[in-house]
Structure 1
Amino acid sequence: MFISLIMSVLLVLAACSGEGGSSASEQSGENSPGKEKGTDKLTESGYPEELTYWVALNPNVSATLKNAGDIKAYQRLEDITGTKVNFQHPPAGSEQDSFNIMVSSGDLPDVIEHNWAAVAGGPDKLIGDGSIIRLNELIEEHAPHLKKVLDENPEYKKMITSDDGNIYVFPFLRGDEYLLTYNGLIIRQDWLDKLGLDMPETIDEWHAVLTAFKNGDPNGNGQADEIPLRLDPGQISMNKAFIGAWGITDSFYQVDGKVKYGPIQPEFKEFLQTMSSWYAEGLIDPDYLSGDSNLWDAKITNHTLGAFTGYTGSGIGRYMQLMEDEGGDFNLAGAPNVSLNKGEIPPLGQMDSPFTGYGAAITSKNANPEAAVRWLDYKYGEEGHILFNFGIEGESYTLEDGYPTYTDKVLKNESLPIAQALAQYAMAGYSGPFVQDKRYMEQYSSLPQQTEAIEVWMKASNDRLMPLISPNEEEAARYASIMNDVKTYYDEMLNKFIMGVEPVDQFDSFVETIKSMGIEEAIAIQQAALDRYNSR
């Protein structure tokens, strides 16, 4: 191993001096005209002495820390590699604008961690512009840990490869199917029990349960103050709540490789008719559009809201913890993804992709990309994997029969929620260039209600969900123009239909308006992108 390390260092030094023929850094444009030379000094272990690293600071980190360099995992990584990382954080709320300005100016750091799915024109455009570099050869030669992950999981490699065949990112990967589902319908199990109701599975059963919630006084206060359901339009896209029963989404989906747009399908009219009817019957909270989180907290903890959509952690876990000291029978459960017919597998639910676009790219301003690749690759090895998922042994976790078990500093912190306590040590609670470990979620969502919810929410076909695709540079501007208009109109009309401001029998006019905005061209662009993805 020591000999291999020395050879790697010698290869890097040869590449930096221009000896040894065509190197990976030459292929990636390191010696291209106009490149500003940064530090190319190496530590004794062959890592860069210093790196500049741009990344948005996750709210769970910024709640207690000012800089990603204060995270214990990064501090330990500096001890191991000798690399001093100077983190640059854009202002909260303006991350995308800051990214665009940075790229346009050409004043780039060595490494950028970002959601590359949000980049106009995609990563191929940034490689072509000389902002970030192609990593294929560099990973092959200098990143044995990530290479092993990709070789063992060809689908991961397909996901992080662009349409032009470029690997552009050290990715954040959810390393187990168990990690892909974390959001869905949540219902008051104690209300079901009190009223003698079974868990609803179909649209008709949901209508019966919500009606019983409204009329049956499940909170037992003798008042007709129960609100059966909060319908969250912002999460229809995520968890496909109710709309998925018809086998469609509120955006693009696929059927046997053919792209469709949900809101112009006949099934969408049926969805609107159902939601409009429920709203008229008082089954949907009239305040459902409010973004006031305190309002929703109050409705749940004051025992007036019967069902809503949410996460395992900030939904089920948080409210169970808030109500723990109150006593009583308060109990939440994850409800199954909804179908139209009893006994059928729900066609759609919430399931994320193992790779959603987040990760770290190396810029053209990096003076020694080979060394930066080795530094990033450390996180994909066994030691780095444990470090960035669990933090510091003896502080944030201990090994119990080989299982990295979070300590009370994380799971039972006296002053911080789990997500913020963990964020002081590791990054498993959000994202970064590493593979997320299933054992993180097993402990983060350790309540029986949470583990059962995940298992329930995972039960859906989901074969109509789209993979992570994006328009190419030629398509991007036109696609964005079409979808900005369509999305604005859709958001406005969706709520008008549900609230009865616009009768659902105007649906055909709604469809024609969306078509006049160019949705069929947008579908064609999505189809071309899906075809490119499938042919990778």
Structure 2
Amino acid sequence: MKRLDWKSGAAAITLCMIVFLGLFIALNKSFFNQTQTEGTGSHSIQSALMPALSDYPSSLSYWVIMNKEESAIIKNYNEMGMYKQLEKLTGTKVQFQHPPSGFDTGFNLAMIIASEHPPDVIETNWSSAQPDKAIKEGKIIRLNELIDQYAPNLSNLLKKKPDVKKLITSDEGNIYAFPTIADDPKLSIFNGLIVRKDWLDKLGLQPPKTIEDWENMLIAFRDKDPNGNGKQDEIPLIYNKESFFISYAFAGAYGITTDFYNDHGQIKYGPYEPRFKEYLALLHRWYQEGLIDQNYLTIDEKIIGTKVTQDRVGSFDGWLASDLGKYTRLMQAQNPRFQLKGVVFPSLQPGGEVIAKVQDKFIGLGAAITSTAKNPEQIAAWLDYGYSKEGHMLFNFGIEGESYTLVDGKPTFTDLVLNNPNRLPVSQALTMYTRMGSSAPFEYSVEGYDQYNALPEQMEAKTNWLKADHKKLLPILYLSADEQIRESAIMSDLLKYQDEMMNKFIMGIEPLDNFETYRSMLKKMGIEDELEIKQKAFERYLKK
């Protein structure tokens, strides 16, 4: 064989390297666009080759409201284990901006964008923030093309789940946010009615199933000293003003909701329906008779929690993890007889109609990229991480070896989460490591959710809260930009008036004889125009 001289050898080596590099890029590109599906229970986890570190932004700013469990433990998401790990994996430093709880993103979106340091990403519930209008006005950007080109994990997930893509796409064809997805029926129920089971047992009462059962139970809680301290200090039902609209609680017994709903294809609005008067009459009677906390207008979740743990509250509307689970674990040592039970939503008659709130696969929660972001392609790749196999584990379970370990190949939370040495409730211990129990750009794991809510009381509550009619509930409805402007003009003042009048009716400041006057005012303020808007949006949804 003839020996190559130095120059020709170098040329050959260079040529080989070029050919090899071309093949590597082609293969890498091909592999990047493939989807490897690995089953974990009922979830399909999308796995794709991760982009190189240089494909992620070096930094970004991220606007998001922390929930009550998170803000009780950490001051900033940078303290959360998963975000520390995400920074190591992507090289992206995130400056989180956390507004106060209760901040109205939709109302203040222009102010957020126009601030001195506008965020690159805004995570919120966009169902009420008029995303098409925000895109048209240049506040946030349309994501369809970015997802196709720079978010292979989410892109592949949407191809496999067209029903999810339908929910996250507006009627104008825009995908506006990287969504929080809860794609399993077990993930549809989070909230419901909770009673003190030990009080029921002490008084010889059965769990309530009808409105009459509830009234008899509340009267017994008021009069028969179930906490045994010799004082009439029990609060039969504690109910803050926001709770009236969370789960529909008692309104569902009257075949209505406290929001818009579908009645055999016709969109209706519960607070405008004649039967809403019956619901208000019930709450008014209970308020007058001292069965509802007399200070419901001024209390918040912290005050409710204090009263529950002081052995004063007989029943309340609460959350599966951050109320039922938290109080059950918290009170085990303090008051061993303390026992909570999630009960069915009541009907007027045994076996009668009742509507309850469940959560759809997508309810509008997600992270949008603002128009002021300088590197939207890299931000899209960073947000896409949550839908990858690795991101799925990180967002749902946190840090392997700390918040979870693999047991027989399945992620299992450790005692740092389930039996926290500092006696933190599971809902709070978990927030030190992951966004599970919150919202973020990722797909929920039903396996994680079941571990998160594994107490027998929680498992029973999920079963009981699902025993209701959900056919009248609406999916997320998208309005055109013009419809969003019209809706904003109608509903802003209407909701203020409605809220004011509802509380006046309950407290007896306004007699229920004036209910028709109230309905006439809703009509004058444009509720029937809003019903027409919602009807058209619903019909468009059905045609998708």
TM-score (norm 2): 0.84
Counterpart Cα distance in 2 of 1:305 and 1:142: 51
Partners of 2:326 and 2:426 within 8 A in 1: no
Letter in 2 for 1:358: L
1:421-454 CA-partner distances (Å, limit 9, x unpaired):
3223221121111001122222222221122112
- Alignment match of 2:483 (pick from 475, 479, 496): 475
Match of 1:390 in 2: 397
Q: 1:112 to 1:510 in 2, by over 3 A?
A: closer
1:15-45 CA-partner distances (Å, limit 9, x unpaired):
xxxxxxxxxxxxxxxxxxxxxxxxxxx9746
1:527 equivalent to 2:535? Answer: yes
Match of 1:446 in 2: 454
C-alpha deviation, 1:105, in angstroms: 6.5
What are the within-5 Å matches in structure 2 for residues 194-213 of structure 1?
A: 194-213=202-221
- Alignment match of 2:365 (pick from 358, 364, 373): 358
Letter in 1 for 2:341: A
Counterpart Cα distance in 2 of 1:2 and 1:378: 23
Match of 1:267 in 2: 275
Give the secondary structure class of the aligned counterpart of 1:323. helix
1:230-280 CA-partner distances (Å, limit 9, x unpaired):
243311211111111111112221212211111221211111222222233
- Alignment match of 1:514 (pick from 516, 522, 530): 522
Match of 2:411 in 1: 404
Give the secondary structure class of the aligned counterpart of 2:133. helix
C-alpha deviation, 1:180, in angstroms: 2.1
Q: 1:517 to 1:336 in 2, by over 3 A?
A: same
Partners of 1:201 and 1:338 within 8 A in 2: yes
Partners of 1:5 and 1:45 within 8 A in 2: no
C-alpha deviation, 1:342, in angstroms: 0.9
Letter in 2 for 1:68: Y
Partners of 1:56 and 1:95 within 8 A in 2: no
C-alpha deviation, 1:386, in angstroms: 0.6
Aligned residues: 502
- Alignment match of 1:71 (pick from 80, 83, 87): 80
Q: 1:360 to 1:298 in 2, by over 3 A?
A: closer
Give the secondary structure class of the aligned counterpart of 1:333. strand
Partners of 1:48 and 1:368 within 8 A in 2: no
Partners of 1:9 and 1:46 within 8 A in 2: no
- Alignment match of 2:123 (pick from 105, 113, 125): 113
Give the secondary structure class of the aligned counterpart of 1:352. coil
1:448-497 CA-partner distances (Å, limit 9, x unpaired):
11221122112211111222224432233332232222222222221222
Counterpart Cα distance in 2 of 1:327 and 1:67: 33
What are the within-5 Å matches in structure 2 for residues 45-64 of structure 1?
A: 47-56=55-64, 58-59=66-67, 60-61=69-70, 63-64=72-73
C-alpha deviation, 1:172, in angstroms: 0.9
What are the within-5 Å matches in structure 2 for residues 33-432 of structure 1?
A: 44=52, 47-56=55-64, 58-59=66-67, 60-61=69-70, 63-65=72-74, 67-81=76-90, 83-93=91-101, 96=105, 99-104=109-114, 109-119=119-129, 122-293=130-301, 295-344=303-352, 346-365=353-372, 369-415=376-422, 416-432=424-440
Give the secondary structure class of the aligned counterpart of 2:153. helix
Give the secondary structure class of the aligned counterpart of 1:285. coil
Letter in 2 for 1:52: L
Give the secondary structure class of the aligned counterpart of 2:337. coil
C-alpha deviation, 1:55, in angstroms: 2.2
Counterpart Cα distance in 2 of 1:365 and 1:328: 55
Partners of 2:261 and 2:269 within 8 A in 1: yes
Partners of 1:409 and 1:421 within 8 A in 2: yes
Q: 1:357 to 1:497 in 2, by over 3 A?
A: same
C-alpha deviation, 1:293, in angstroms: 4.5
1:7 equivalent to 2:16? Answer: no
Match of 1:38 in 2: none
Give the secondary structure class of the aligned counterpart of 1:229. coil
Partners of 2:426 and 2:452 within 8 A in 1: yes
1:107-140 CA-partner distances (Å, limit 9, x unpaired):
7554443332232xx2223333344333323333
Give the secondary structure class of the aligned counterpart of 1:259. strand
Match of 2:511 in 1: 503
Q: Which moved more, 1:151-160 or 1:87-96?
A: 87-96
Counterpart Cα distance in 2 of 1:168 and 1:370: 14
Counterpart Cα distance in 2 of 1:236 and 1:115: 19
Partners of 2:260 and 2:270 within 8 A in 1: yes
Match of 1:29 in 2: none
Give the secondary structure class of the aligned counterpart of 2:275. helix
Letter in 1 for 2:160: E
Match of 2:44 in 1: none
Letter in 1 for 2:124: H
Q: 1:108 to 1:2 in 2, by over 3 A?
A: farther
Q: 1:245 to 1:5 in 2, by over 3 A?
A: farther
Give the secondary structure class of the aligned counterpart of 2:440. coil
1:388-446 CA-partner distances (Å, limit 9, x unpaired):
11111111100112221111222222334433432232211211110011222222222
Counterpart Cα distance in 1 of 2:74 and 2:218: 43
Gaps (5+ residues) in structure 2? 1-22, 34-49
1:45-94 CA-partner distances (Å, limit 9, x unpaired):
6622524232225255555555434433233333334x323324154355
Counterpart Cα distance in 2 of 1:471 and 1:110: 25
Letter in 2 for 1:385: H
The two structures, once aligned, show a CA RMSD in angstroms of 2.9
1:201-240 CA-partner distances (Å, limit 9, x unpaired):
1112212222232333323344444332224331121111
Counterpart Cα distance in 2 of 1:114 and 1:287: 30
Q: 1:170 to 1:306 in 2, by over 3 A?
A: same
Give the secondary structure class of the aligned counterpart of 1:528. helix
Counterpart Cα distance in 1 of 2:418 and 2:204: 35
Letter in 1 for 2:29: M
Partners of 1:69 and 1:85 within 8 A in 2: no
Partners of 1:43 and 1:49 within 8 A in 2: no
Give the secondary structure class of the aligned counterpart of 1:172. strand
Partners of 2:397 and 2:411 within 8 A in 1: yes
Counterpart Cα distance in 2 of 1:262 and 1:64: 37
Counterpart Cα distance in 2 of 1:265 and 1:90: 38
Counterpart Cα distance in 2 of 1:365 and 1:10: 29
1:324-348 CA-partner distances (Å, limit 9, x unpaired):
223442211001011122124x531
Partners of 1:51 and 1:110 within 8 A in 2: no
1:464 equivalent to 2:437? Answer: no
C-alpha deviation, 1:173, in angstroms: 0.9
Gaps (5+ residues) in structure 1? 12-41
Counterpart Cα distance in 2 of 1:321 and 1:310: 15
Partners of 2:193 and 2:343 within 8 A in 1: yes
Partners of 2:240 and 2:299 within 8 A in 1: no
Match of 1:26 in 2: none
Partners of 1:8 and 1:46 within 8 A in 2: no
Q: Which moved more, 1:295-304 or 1:480-489?
A: 295-304
C-alpha deviation, 1:364, in angstroms: 4.4
Counterpart Cα distance in 2 of 1:225 and 1:131: 51
Q: Percent same amino acid at aligned positions?
A: 44
